[in-house]
Amino acid sequence: MSLAAGPGRGGGGGAQGQLPDEMKVVVEKHVAYIQSLDTRREELEYHLTEHLRISGIYWGLTALHLLGHPDALPRDGVLDFLFSCLHADGGFGAAPGHDPHMLYTVSSVQILAMVDGFDELEKRMKDGKLKVAKYIAGLQQPNGTFAGDEWGETDTRFLYCALNALSLLGFLPSQQADQPPLIDVPAATAYVKACQNFDGGFGTEPGAESHSGQVFTCCGALSITGELDSYLGEEGKDRLGAWLSERQLPSGGLNGRPEKLVDVCYSWWVMSSMAMIGRLHWIDKAKLTAFILQCQDPEEGGFADRPGDMVDVFHTVFGLAGLSLLGHPGLVEVDPA
């Protein structure tokens, strides 16, 4: 569930005091950076990223939880904005006036879980949780996968999103054993398995190239349905773990596919997948930690995709989540699935 499993701190201790400066996470600066994001509305980029508004709040809020400052964004403001994106059918759009979509619906559910806001949802919409769950369930396709919206683009991202959100809402068939199931779980997991490739990785659909992000969504989906261990077995885990560990390049950073550039966000997609299959120790942690910290802006806060690039909130949350999985001091511990 909530991404942050806290209140305990990861990395055995939490004190960063003894670390050299370049190894420290500048916690206060990251908090200030995330708080500043909502005040930069004069910039062109702000409205061009409107389609990501809900996701932006999710990323920012998750980062704040990891940093141990979960209250640094105003809860009421977050909830008001969230509900202004809620449609009568139970779906959430990216921003007010945007059509409902799976991605923003799951981000909204995740945000509600983080701020403990499900009661608010029930207050603002009668049977709100059930309505949201039904919106999500309604996007399942006959072949088991899920579409992003009524127009039917499908992708294993959406499938993972659906299972994640339904589990947070408590509406997975296994959580509602006395009710008729909202979704067909066996069909969904069969679809995920059909996305596994000859190299051991997973893609967006059957036949599509293995990609670390999709490995995360497919392992996450199987983990939520409780089938990851039985499906992969030790041999399958070794094979997938080998592919994932090959994502680490000499710079210490991780890439998403063979022969592609490293990027901080793969710290999360690759490592969380390795953690789910119990192979996280195959990463060279010291080198990856150093790489992620090179992407940190120690003056203004935030993380970039690669050293020297511009920071953004997306790479900030995945940089922090990566460091948390690595057990870096000063961060709250995170749940890989």
Partner 1 sequence: MGKYADDEQWSDVVPLPTDEGGDNPLAAIAYSEEYEETMSYLRAIMAANEYSPRVLDLTEDLIDMNPAHYTVWLYRAQCLFAIDSDLKEELEWLNETALTHQKNYQIWHHRNLIVDKLDQCEGETAFVESMFERDAKNYHVWSYRQWLVRRFGLWDKGELEFTEQMLQRDVRNNSAWNHRWFVVNGQEGAAGVGDPDIRAREMKFAMLAIAKAPQNQSPWNYLRGITKKSGMSLAHLKDFAEQYASLDQPDNIHSSFALDLLADILVEEKNTKQAAQALDLLEKTYDPIRKNYWAYRKEQLGLPAAVA
Residues forming the site for partner 1 (CB under 8 A) = 38, 41-42, 44, 46-53, 57, 73-74, 77-78, 80-81, 84, 93-99, 101, 149, 151, 153, 197-199, 203-211, 241-242, 245-246, 248-250, 252, 257-260, 281-284, 287
| 3-state SS class at 16 | coil
- Shorter beta-carbon distance to partner 1: residue 99 or 116: 99
Choose among 290, 258, 304: nearest CA to 33: 304
Instruction: Give the helix, strand, coil percentages of the chain, each rounded to 5.
Output: 50, 10, 40
Our CB check for partner 1 shows the closer of 97 and 180 to be 97
d(CA 330, CA 294): 17
Q: How far is CA 148 from the centre of its chain?
A: 16
Nearer to partner 1 by C-beta: 170 or 258?
258
Give the sign of the dihedral formed by CA 99, CA 100, CA 106, CA 108. positive
Q: From CA 55, how far away is CA 188, in angstroms rounded?
A: 24
Q: At its nearest, how many Å lie between partner 1 and the CB of residue 99?
A: 5
Which residues make beta-bridge pairs with 86? 92
Tell the smallest beta-carbon distance from residue 171 to partner 1 (Å): 25
Tokens 């980029």: give the residue.
45
Minimum CB–partner distance for residue 63 and partner 1 (Å): 16
- For the chain, how long is the longest CA-to-CA vector? 57
Q: Closest separation between CB of residue 26 and partner 1, Å?
A: 24
Residue whose CB is less far from partner 1, 33 or 171: 33
- Asked if 220 and 276 count as a contact pair (C-beta separation under 8 A), the reply is yes
Query: Smaller CB distance to partner 1: residue 77 or 226?
Result: 77
**278: its two tokens:** 């119990």
Minimum CB distance to partner 1, residue 264 (Å): 17
Nearest approach, Cβ of residue 156 and partner 1 (Å)? 12
- For partner 1, the closer of residues 122 and 153 by Cβ is 153
**Residue found by looking up tokens 């940093």 in the block:** 67
Phi, psi of 312 (to 5 degrees): -155, 170
The least distance separating partner 1 from the CB of residue 17, rounded to whole angstroms, comes to: 28
Among residues 49 and 217, whose Cβ is nearest to partner 1? 49
Contact 10, 308 (CB under 8 A): no
